[in-house]
Amino acid sequence: MKDDITTIQLKKSLVRDLNKLKKYDRQTYSEIISDLIAFAKSERMNDAYIEFIKRTQQKRMAELWENAEDEVVGDV
């Protein structure tokens, strides 16, 4: 089954910007927008992954930073 097609209104400035993103001359706006959505999702996933790593490392780093033995060495 084919996807239903809709008509949307875009400002001419946005159309110019979309045209600049074309990978090839006959690329459709639908393809460009799909690429932009995929990129946004991958960036969101990347940000979520970085946040996950930060949280998992935070406890271990706190243990290292709050090490009383290191405080003694630092005072020497």
Q: Are 21 and 32 in contact (CB under 8 A)?
A: yes
Q: Are 51 and 61 in contact (CB under 8 A)?
A: no
Pure H helices in the chain: 12-20, 29-65, 68-75
User: 26-34 long-range contacts, Cβ below 8 Å, gap at least 24?
Assistant: none
Prediction pTM value: 0.60
Domain map of the chain by residue range? 45-76
Query: How high is the mean pLDDT of the chain?
Result: 85
pLDDT, tens only, 54-70: 888 887 777 777 766 65
Does 74 or 67 have the greater pLDDT score?
Answer: 67
